[in-house]
């Protein structure tokens, strides 16, 4: 194992906590295990500014399972990052104390770190573009999370980035209260999203971008539905491209569906059922902006994202 060290990355966002265990073999980084759990750590944070004790308990349960996996795979280095919800929560020290206890049992002294939106954007970009053809650059990488959306432009390195305080959980909790959401609620959500995207795209020029890359579960789930997959298949989804003509009608359907109708969709994770409508509105507004500003007419999705960036930062 000394010649092939194993590393672990944990990404704890507003909606999910994810794990990647990788092995460094002959200079290459090889995936060993990927996993995702919906824990909704950011439940209520937009309104209260505090982590709910039950949300921390859910996150702890998932992280303890991850720690068991890390030990079974003989992981020697761990990096755990926390993003939007943790940036916003006033009682984040309770969360850090929990992670120190759980992760410290794997590698002494390990604790989660809250990263800035700028670093989150850079890690997501590096993970997303690693396998893409350089001829398709410049890229606009968008990481649509539960609490924030990172918009990043670059070729092989980041040229500009912005972290906007819009995400599927935040928009749902703030605007989309009915099941299905009313027309007025959807209109309010669009207004909020457009205001935040105006800020983002003022900071991140996209006029000459050639390829839009979406990462994280909202994008990959919508693309799975656009491709008419009956179950979620990460291999079929990774690096697939979908035209706006196929993408946008799926977003319309998701926005107008009840939660029960969304739950019946084969590729849908149960933890996304109540919030993916908000994410679909963000996707539509991004498509409109990138179409108008850069003439982009399709979305490419990547299953590689911030987790791969985190691993790259500790190799």
For 224-258, b/e burial (b = at least 16 CB within 10 A) is bbbeebeebeeeebeebebebebbbebbebbbebe
Give bridge partners of residue 162 from the DSSP assignment.
151
Do the domains 121-306 and 6-115 match in fold? yes
Structure tokens at 13: 């966002």
Give the pLDDT score at 83: 84
CA distance 185 to 207: 31
Peptide bond between residue 180 and the one before it cis (omega within 30 degrees of 0): yes
pLDDT tens by residue, 76-85 = 999 999 987 8
Homologous superfamily of domain range 6-115:
ATPase, nucleotide binding domain (3.30.420.40)
CA nearest neighbour of 284 among 245, 235, 238: 245
Q: In the chain, which stretches have pLDDT less than 50?
A: 1
The predicted structure's pLDDT at residue 1: 44
Give the model's pLDDT for residue 26: 86
Helix 183-203 × helix 276-294 angle, to 10°: 50
Residue-range domain boundaries for the chain: 6-115, 121-306
Which pLDDT belongs to residue 154?
96
Q: What is the model's pTM? A: 0.89
Structural domain 121-306, CATH architecture: 2-Layer Sandwich (3.30)
């Amino acid at each position: 194992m000394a010649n092939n060290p194993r590393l672990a990355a944990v990404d704890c966002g507003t909606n999910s906590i994810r794990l990647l265990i990788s092995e460094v073999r002959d200079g290459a980084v090889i995936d060993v295990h990927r996993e995702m759990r919906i824990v909704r750590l950011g439940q209520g944070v937009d309104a209260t500014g505090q982590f709910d004790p039950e949300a921390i308990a859910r996150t702890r349960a998932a992280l303890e399972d991850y720690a068991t996996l890390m030990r079974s795979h003989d992981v020697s280095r761990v990096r755990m990052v926390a993003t939007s919800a943790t940036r916003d929560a006033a009682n984040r020290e309770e969360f850090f104390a929990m992670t120190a206890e759980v992760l410290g049992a794997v590698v002494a002294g390990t604790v989660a770190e809250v990263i800035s939106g700028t670093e989150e954007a850079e890690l997501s970009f590096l993970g997303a573009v690693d396998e893409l053809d350089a001829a398709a650059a410049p890229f606009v990488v968008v990481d649509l999370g539960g609490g924030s959306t990172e918009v990043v432009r670059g070729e092989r390195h980041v040229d500009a980035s912005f972290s906007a305080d819009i995400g599927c959980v935040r928009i749902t909790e703030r605007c989309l209260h009915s099941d299905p959401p009313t027309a007025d609620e959807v209109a309010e959500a669009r207004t909020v999203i457009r205001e935040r995207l105006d800020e983002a795209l003022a900071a991140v020029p996209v006029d000459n971008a050639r390829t839009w890359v979406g990462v994280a579960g909202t994008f990959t789930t919508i693309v799975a539905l656009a491709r008419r997959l009956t179950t979620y298949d990460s291999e079929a989804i990774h690096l697939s491209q979908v035209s706006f003509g196929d993408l946008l009608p799926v977003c319309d359907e998701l926005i107008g569906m009840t939660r029960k109708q969304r739950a019946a969709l084969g590729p849908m994770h149960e933890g996304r059922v109540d919030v993916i409508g908000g994410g679909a509105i963000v996707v539509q507004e991004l498509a409109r902006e990138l179409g108008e500003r850069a003439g982009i007419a399709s979305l490419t999705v990547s299953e590689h994202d911030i987790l791969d960036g985190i691993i790259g930062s500790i190799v």
